[in-house]
Amino acid sequence: MADENKTVAKAREEALRAHNPKASRKQLVLWFSALIIGGFLGFLGIAPLNELFNFIATVFTRLFQFIAVPTIALAVITTLAALGGQKETGRIFAHAVSYTFLTTLAAAAVGLGLYILISPGNLPAEIVGAGAANVPLDKVGKLTYYDHILSVIPNNVLQPFLAGNVLSVMLIAASVGLGLAFMPKTENREVLLKGLHGLQELLFTLIRAILWALPVGILAFAGQLSAQIEAGVIVGALSQYVAVVMGGNLLQMFVVLPLFLLLRGLNPLDVFRKMSPAIAVALFTKSSAGTLPVTLASAENNLKVNPKVSRFVLPICTTINMNGCAAFILVTSLFVMQNAGFELTLGTMIAWVFIAVLAAIGNAGVPMGCYFLTLSLMSSMGAPIGLMGVILPIYTIIDMIETAENVWSDASVCAMTNHDLAGELEEASPVIQS
């Protein structure tokens, strides 16, 4: 035990040396410089350069996707194996779920308030009709809740990992973690746990490597985005609708979530600054699940969150805490139904707030997940889905802001949970170095 405590202390000292405020500021300056330079180069419209940006952005996206699912699984398994049936587990879970529900409900309510305030008008029928050709018909009707629930229940071990089914992976990981927690304390169990911790250390080493090369990825992501804007892929034809969706996301990010943090006695500017690497990655990858490795590293290295909290709360939040998705589902559903001639009473709109919250909680943290979920909801109601095709070209920028908001909300929930339970948790285990 003494040796273990020395190892913990040594790892913590090394982490503190590697992550002093001066180094963090230099890293932040480097990333913002890459963002500005990439944006400028993308606007130049140099075809070979844009192709290079697309290639590098795809490589980084695939790397994040590659490491995300095993990171989720190992984080949940090792944390539950350590916490097991202790009361800490229930307390952490209860705080995380409570904050998740409250922040997601707030996001949907902000979206509804802006929708009523701005009152976007209907689009001409010919525009909606023309948009039907852009709807990805192969997704319509394939994301029913019946199928979605069934897909969460695994019928073999490998399929959820191969398909990237985050909810199913979470279910397997939670089962294995709890199984290890309640196993007899045999030598076999200790060997298995050592192997799992070794794999987790290996993943965190890979995460550090990706973070080291991240400025190149940010440069490419920024160049790719600005090239798309310059080419007219992101357009403002639906200005009022876009104002509601984007305005709701920005209000949630910069007003509502900071208020939650202030009410719990936390400095929102400090939390945002320390979690900014994860928020930046989320903005460009458009996947909160894919961003999880960076979110974990930022929470433990920069924010100094107890790993017992971060490695349990963040994987859960990545799966169920979808603030941006709730606002998008609500606003888009109301907009589609309004254009289709559905009667939107105040009672109906309030009911859709809760539908959007429940739908967002069940959505997977993958690119365009909210779009396809909303498409299926509207299709199941018999609403004309041509408007979803009109929205599709501008969804790229919406998805970016949504994902950044989701990860910022995950970080906020994690920070609040850690703050609430700091006195009850034992001394934190070694932090991840990045």
Average pLDDT over residues 91-112: 94
Average pLDDT over residues 32-43: 84
Residue predicted with more confidence, 219 or 8: 219
Q: Smallest Cα–Cα separation from 210: which of 72, 79, 56?
A: 56
State yes or no: pLDDT of 323 exceeds 60: yes
Tell me the two tokens of residue 121: 């008008």
Supply the pLDDT for residue 333. 92
CA distance 421 to 407: 21
For 208, how many CA atoms within 13 A lie in the half-sphere containing its CB?
Answer: 15
Ranked by mean pLDDT, the top range of 131-135, 275-279, 365-369 is 275-279
Contacts of 299 (CB under 8 A, 6+ apart): 275, 278, 305, 310, 314, 411, 414, 415
Digit-coded pLDDT (tens) for 383-419: 777 788 778 777 877 888 999 999 999 999 999 999 9
Average pLDDT over residues 318-339: 91
Supply the pLDDT for residue 201. 87
Residue predicted with more confidence, 164 or 116: 116
Tell me the two tokens of residue 42: 């993308």
Digit-coded pLDDT (tens) for 123-172: 777 666 666 566 665 555 455 556 666 767 888 888 888 877 777 887 88
User: Domains of the chain: which residue ranges?
Assistant: 2-67+85-151+212-421
| DSSP codes of every residue in 380-403 | HHT---HHHHHHGGGHHHHHHHHH
Contacts of 85 (CB under 8 A, 6+ apart): 178, 181, 182
State yes or no: pLDDT of 88 exceeds 90: no
pLDDT more than 70, % of the chain? 81
Digit-coded pLDDT (tens) for 220-262: 888 877 776 665 544 444 678 888 999 999 999 999 999 999 9
State yes or no: pLDDT of 97 exceeds 60: yes
State yes or no: pLDDT of 15 exceeds 50: no
pLDDT more than 90, % of the chain? 29
| Domain 2-67+85-151+212-421, classified CATH 1.10.3860.10, yes or no | yes
State yes or no: pLDDT of 184 exceeds 60: yes
Average pLDDT over residues 56-74: 83
> Average pLDDT over the chain, rounded to whole?
81
